[in-house]
Amino acid sequence: MLTVEEARERILAQMKPLDSEDVPLTEALGRVVAHVVVSQEAVPPFANSAMDGYAIRAADTEGASKTAPIDLRLVGEVPAGRLYAGEMHVGEAVRILTGAAVPDGADAVIQQELVTVKDGIVTLTQPVAPNTNIRPAGGDVRPGVTLVRAGTELGPSEIALLAAVGAHPITVTRRPRVALLTTGDELAPLGTAPQPGQIHESNMPYLIAAIRRAGGDPWWLGIAPDRIETLRAMLDQAREADLILTSGGVSVGDYDLVKQVLSEAGNIGFWRVRMRPGKPVAFGLLGTTPLLGLPGNPVSAAVTFELFGRPAIRRMLGAAQVERPQIIVEYEGEAIPQGDRRHFVRARLHTHGARLIARTTGAQDSHLISSLQGASALLDIPEGDGAIHSGDLVPALLLNDALPWDIEVG
């Protein structure tokens, strides 16, 4: 039996980063940047005013006080989006609004609340230091600085930064096309009433959502009945995908056919991983297309997708962050006995002062879909003879899509 790390390494070794495409910044949320982006521009592009007030020459204001006010001649106005035509001379002031380019010759802005204006004269009762209320060109971003590295997943802040330097559209990695089929005669398709002995199928909607969250583009093939010819034909059609995901049909039962089809193709990778839930996992190549066979039990399917499917998709995306961030949490609750396999326990996190506390979501059997609900972490309980007790610090995988976590940005 392989360890989780060994299995993941073997899977990731087969995942090639995909080609790239240009998308508008308005469609770039969650996409992974394909190439480093270096700023070609300065932000702000020109020195501009941080206040509504008056552009002045600082030297003109030297010695100004309540008892010795200084008068400047108001010679014009410059609103945001316009330029002041000409240059400012000694003894002049120009009305300026926030964001407007500072006129040539001016080197400070005094805010309007600090002056009186009457009959074209601006009166100051205090001196103004050079550069006051001026946002210098390039004060935010200088040309030549790295804005985002290849592999960065774009959030709203990165998108704003790219927009500010005009880096639009942006080159991102193509979303991997992930073919999905579920297996089992007992499955009633979404929106249909189960026949006697059937259940509502739930892995498909789960996995479609999880594939999307991971950055993939799901391609639903349908439910394969437990008949090898049909399964073979459906899988054949999926070879055009970047990755094939199946659920069910990988354990040792008579009807576990995914494994069989993969074995025929001659490229079965493995089918047992030393973990709980989800021991039976298959991985192989169907022709040249990687196929990841997840177990049918809904919780096993979800956890194995997290540990193997999501990293596979993210590797194809070229994402810098392939795995979930690992954090340390304080366990709270009844003792969890360790066992002969590493156990990934669904847990909810909450904070208590500076402590990050994890409680399980309840019973952890692999058929309990309700145990997935609200899980924000997977506690990573090592195999062993002991137990995890309340107050113990345990490693956990953070399931929230809090990005970026623990990686260098920019």
The residue ranges that bind Mg ion (CB under 5 A) are 184, 248, 296
Judged by beta carbon, residue 248 or residue 278, the one nearer Mg ion is: 248
Backbone angles phi, psi at 313, to 5 degrees: -65, -40
CB 301 within 8 A of CB 203: yes
In whole angstroms, how close is the CB of 258 to ligand AMP at the nearest point?
9
> Pairing between strand 177-183 and 243-247?
parallel
In whole angstroms, how close is the CB of 272 to Mg ion at the nearest point?
17
Residue type, 80: A
Judged by beta carbon, residue 254 or residue 408, the one nearer ligand AMP is: 254
Total site size for ligand AMP, rule CB under 6 A:
19
In whole angstroms, how close is the CB of 368 to ligand AMP at the nearest point?
11
Judged by beta carbon, residue 53 or residue 280, the one nearer ligand AMP is: 280
Selected range binding ligand AMP among 26-34, 76-84, 244-252, 336-344, rule: CB under 6 A: 244-252
Determine if 173 is a binding residue for ligand AMP (CB under 6 A): no
Determine if 201 is a binding residue for ligand AMP (CB under 6 A): yes
24 burial level (CB within 10 Å; 0-12, 13-18, 19+) = exposed
In whole angstroms, how close is the CB of 333 to ligand AMP at the nearest point?
27
Determine if 321 is a binding residue for ligand AMP (CB under 6 A): no
Determine if 251 is a binding residue for ligand AMP (CB under 6 A): yes
Q: Rounded distance, CA 64 to CA 134, Å?
A: 20
For residue 131, CA distances in Å to 48, 59, 71, 87, 272 come to 10, 11, 20, 17, 68
Selected range binding ligand AMP among 188-196, 227-235, 292-300, 323-331, rule: CB under 6 A: 292-300
Q: Rounded distance, CA 25 to CA 104, Å?
A: 34
Backbone angles phi, psi at 326, to 5 degrees: -100, 135
Residue type, 396: A
In whole angstroms, how close is the CB of 297 to ligand AMP at the nearest point?
4
For residue 242, how far is the Cα from the chain centroid? 21
285's tokens: 């190549």
3-state secondary structure of 149: coil
Judged by beta carbon, residue 201 or residue 242, the one nearer Mg ion is: 201
Determine if 2 is a binding residue for ligand AMP (CB under 6 A): no
Determine if 371 is a binding residue for ligand AMP (CB under 6 A): no
364's tokens: 């952890």
Rule CB under 6 A: which of 12-71 touch ligand AMP? none
Judged by beta carbon, residue 109 or residue 250, the one nearer Mg ion is: 250
Determine if 247 is a binding residue for ligand AMP (CB under 6 A): yes
Judged by beta carbon, residue 61 or residue 300, the one nearer Mg ion is: 300
For residue 11, CA distances in Å to 57, 268, 292, 313 come to 66, 12, 8, 11
247 binds, among ligand AMP, Mg ion, none (CB under 5 to 8 A by kind): ligand AMP
297 binds, among Mg ion, ligand AMP, none (CB under 5 to 8 A by kind): ligand AMP
Determine if 380 is a binding residue for ligand AMP (CB under 6 A): no
Return the closest-CA partner of residue 282 out of 267, 290, 272: 272
Determine if 176 is a binding residue for ligand AMP (CB under 6 A): no
Please confirm whether the linkage preceding 277 is cis (ω < 30° from 0).
yes
CB 389 within 8 A of CB 331: yes
User: In this structure, is the dihedral angle defined by the CA atoms of residues 212, 204, 222 and 281, taken in order, positive or negative?
Assistant: positive
Which residues in this chain contact ligand AMP in the complex, by CB under 6 A? Answer: 182-184, 186-187, 199, 201-204, 247-249, 251, 253, 295-298
